[in-house]
Amino acid sequence: MLHNSQAHVFSVTFDGTICNFSMCTNLGANFEYGSNFKPYFTNPVTMKKCFVILDPCHMIKLVRSTLGDKRVLKTADNLVIKWEFIVKLYNLQQKEGLKAANKLTKKHIQCSNNRMNVKLAMQTLSRSVSKSLEFVTTLHDNTIKTEFNGCLPTSQYCLQFNNIMDMLNCKNRFSKSEYNTALTESNYSQLQEHAKQFENYINTLYDNTGTPILKSGRKTGFLGMIIGLRNMFPLYDELKNIGLTYLLTYKLSQDYLETFFSAIRTRGGFNNNPNALNFQNAYKRLLIRHEIKELENGNCLFDNIDILHVSSKNLKCPISDSSNFNELKMDFAHDYVKTFWDLSPFVENVVLYIAGYVCNKVKKK
């Protein structure tokens, strides 16, 4: 039917369920990583390759959850990757009262309660968390150095998957980032080298029992990353033949479909699981009104002021009565402010970073 309507299918995207893998396998794909690895199948009508893409947002959630559940992963060099170091970083920031330029919160640490939140997964396995772990190892504090001894493999793990997501989730054609950039003829070779390096890194990972991660029961997220890195290049070659000069990998994700589903569900009010008739009516309304947009990105925001609680009477300002100040007694016998020479090395460095950032922003203006 798609062929008869002159629609060209170059790829198929799904989120990694067993039935989707089985469908592609029956069509001729082979997802056993090795010499016979074949993450595509032949379109039986056109006899052209149809590339399989696993949604990167689902894959990063699986990669994060694997580390969070297993607690320990290893590399081929017997280096240990520990979830514990990310927890320790969060606890250190809570203790010191400042963050080392990352977004870690309690929700990020309790990943088992927030498995479906993509934003939390990406912020956990991010460049900022990687650099924060590197930062604490450079502090002149023996207690912190001892606590974070051996955290660099965990830092590398976060950085690698941050860069992989940048490659598989590019939205901006004009991005100047090394990884988060559109695939074009000029950077084809460079990005292909990065993809090979990322694939080799994933291939060296083992779970806490010593089983290669690509042979374990938690392989889906890691295998999905490799499939995306493998297929983006031959897919670009196919699209280039029909006139496309660049490829934004974000266009291959399921976000557009999920945004549409969100719009359908919101039309049902309290019913977020519509039947066929509900779906038909909601779809017609969306076609007419062109209101396909994300649930959280509305045009207006509610004002926090409760209008009913604003009095219409003129209130007397207490400052106009100067007699109140005569009765005020000040007692500065004690200084409760922590002096700067008592600050920990962690806080000193974070404050210096913030100060430098503010100065640079002021200078630019």
The pLDDT assigned to 321 comes to: 54
Helices 255-266 and 276-289, axial angle in degrees (round to 10)? 100
Q: How confident is the model at residue 278 (pLDDT cuts 50, 70, 90)?
A: confident
pLDDT tens per residue across span 50-100? 999 999 999 999 999 999 999 999 999 999 999 999 999 999 999 999 999
Read off the DSSP letter of residue 312. S
The secondary structure of 178-226 as a DSSP string is SSSS-EETTTHHHHHHHHHHHHHHHHT-B-TTS-BGGGSTT-HHHHHHH
Torsional class of 177: left (φ above 0), alpha (ψ -120 to 50), beta (otherwise)? beta
pLDDT digits (tens, 9 = 90+) for 134-176: 999 999 999 999 999 999 999 999 999 999 999 999 999 999 9
According to DSSP, the residues that pair with 54 across neighbouring strands are: 14
Instruction: Return the percent helix, strand and coil in the chain, to nearest 5.
Output: 50, 5, 40
* Most confident of the ranges 7-21, 121-135, 308-322: 121-135
Are 157 and 204 in contact by the 8 Å Cβ rule? The answer is no
Q: CB count, 10 Å around CB of 41?
A: 19
Q: Hey, how many other C-beta atoms are within 10 angstroms of the C-beta on 122?
A: 19
Q: Is the pLDDT of residue 312 over 90?
A: no
What's the pLDDT band for 286 if we cut at 50, 70, 90?
A: confident
> Could you tell me the pLDDT band of residue 342, with boundaries at 50, 70 and 90?
confident
Residues 251/236, Cβ–Cβ less than 8 Å: no
Residue 80 tokens read as 């240990």
Q: Residue 330: is its pLDDT beyond 80?
A: no
Banded model confidence at residue 292, pLDDT cuts 50, 70, 90: very low
Looking at residue 341, what is its pLDDT? 60
Q: Is the pLDDT of residue 299 over 80?
A: no
Where would I find the H helices in 104-206? 106-109, 118-124, 127-136, 142-147, 152-168, 188-203
* Predicted local confidence at residue 305, as pLDDT: 46
Band the pLDDT of 300: cuts 50, 70, 90: very low
Residue 345 token pair: 């090395």
Categorize the per-residue pLDDT at 181 as very low, low, confident or very high, splitting at 50, 70 and 90.
very high
What angle is formed at CA 94 by the lines to CA 88 and CA 100, rounded to 5 degrees? 75
Integer CA distances (angstroms), 299 to 182, 267, 293, in order: 29, 17, 10
Radius of gyration over alpha carbons of the chain, in Å? 27
